[in-house]
């Protein structure tokens, strides 16, 4: 396949990933990525056993995978990711492939493994530097797609629209937020702490103390797994969780009459105890709950 055909595969891959995010949310299961999609009768998977992956249909690698705090020395350096070579041989085909992607400004997908089997997809990214002495590539995770060439060598007419579609300016924050969600949902066994709803698509990781505040660290003890309804009610101070893990519904809500959803969804949770993580270290921090409860009282 020539460069133009390779580019068509990549754009189709980006489109497919966007569709999966719409269906599954930002975090995609590995099984789905290994299966991939079909492009002109050829299957295009996104992942393999190694971090640098090139499907057969592509001339160059399609994706790279990093694991925060994993076995490799990958790290963020400003807006760029310092990404480790495959092994120590600068001539390994995977390393040569990324070097070729750099020289051709070829867009790739970056997968961040948040936990085994769960990946955050970020695209496009570009290899913009190569440091053979330190065995690392420099990856731009915030760049625009730029102008790509079609089969005749001219610029793709909708390059500006492609740029706007793919620009992501807060990559690291997005990774932290999604990793926080995965850890919190794991701790609560993927169910709402209030109503026990199990559908992951309807669950959020709610901060007890907002991440913009001093005590708003992205740790499990500063989080609650809540369904969409109870997350909104928690954020709007319709209810609170006291430091003893008891739910308190605002008095004005208890006195209100507005159909069965209000009764079952909110009123009947009053004075109930939330579901807690099994690990003591993951349970909501009473000091943070107290701080949040005081805000609830003022809002009431």
| DSSP H stretches of helix in the chain | 3-24, 30-35, 93-103, 159-166, 171-187, 228-235, 251-254, 260-265, 286-299
**Stretch 92-118: mean pLDDT:** 93
Q: What's the confidence (pLDDT) of residue 159? A: 43
| Span 111-162, pLDDT tens digits | 999 889 999 998 888 999 999 999 999 998 876 444 333 333 443 444 444 4
Higher pLDDT, 176 or 44: 44
What percent of the chain has a predicted confidence (pLDDT) above 70?
87
d(CA 43, CA 41): 7
27 CB burial (10 A radius; 0-12, 13-18, 19+): buried
Residues 6+ apart with CB under 8 A from 274: 193, 194, 224, 241, 245, 246, 247, 284
Residues 6+ apart with CB under 8 A from 77: 138
Among the ranges given (24-28, 98-102, 248-252, 287-291), the one the predictor scored with the smallest mean pLDDT: 24-28
What residues does each domain of the chain span? 3-169, 178-299
d(CA 77, CA 142): 12
| Span 169-215, pLDDT tens digits | 456 667 778 889 999 999 999 999 999 999 988 999 999 998 777 67
Q: What's the confidence (pLDDT) of residue 76? A: 77
Q: What's the confidence (pLDDT) of residue 191? A: 97
CATH top-level class of 3-169: mainly beta
């Amino acid at each position: 396949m020539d460069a133009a055909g390779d580019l068509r595969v990549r754009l189709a891959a980006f489109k497919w990933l966007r569709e999966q995010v719409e269906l599954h949310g930002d975090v995609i299961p590995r099984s789905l990525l290994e299966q991939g999609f079909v492009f002109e009768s050829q299957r295009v998977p996104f992942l393999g056993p190694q971090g640098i992956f090139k499907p057969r249909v592509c001339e160059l690698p399609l994706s790279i995978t990093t694991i925060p705090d994993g076995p490799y020395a990958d790290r963020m350096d400003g807006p760029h990711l310092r990404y480790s070579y495959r092994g120590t041989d600068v001539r390994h085909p995977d390393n040569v492939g990324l070097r070729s992607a750099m020289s051709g400004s070829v867009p790739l997908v970056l997968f961040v493994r948040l936990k085994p089997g769960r990946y955050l997809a970020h695209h496009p990214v570009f290899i913009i530097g190569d440091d053979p002495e330190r065995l690392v590539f420099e990856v731009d995770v915030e760049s625009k797609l730029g102008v790509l060439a079609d089969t005749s060598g001219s610029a793709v007419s909708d390059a500006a629209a492609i740029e706007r579609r793919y620009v992501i300016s807060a990559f690291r924050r997005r990774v932290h937020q999604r990793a926080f969600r995965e850890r919190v949902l794991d701790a609560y066994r993927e169910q709402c702490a209030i109503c026990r709803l199990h559908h992951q698509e309807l669950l959020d990781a709610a901060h007890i103390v907002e991440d913009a505040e001093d005590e708003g660290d992205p740790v499990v003890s500063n989080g609650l797994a809540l369904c969409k309804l109870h997350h909104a009610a928690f954020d709007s101070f319709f209810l609170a969780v006291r430091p003893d893990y008891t739910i308190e519904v605002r008095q004005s809500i208890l006195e209100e009459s507005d159909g069965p959803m209000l009764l079952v969804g909110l009123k009947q949770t009053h004075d109930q105890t939330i579901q807690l993580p099994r690990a003591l270290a993951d349970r909501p921090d009473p000091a943070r709950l107290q701080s949040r409860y005081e805000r609830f009282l003022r809002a009431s």
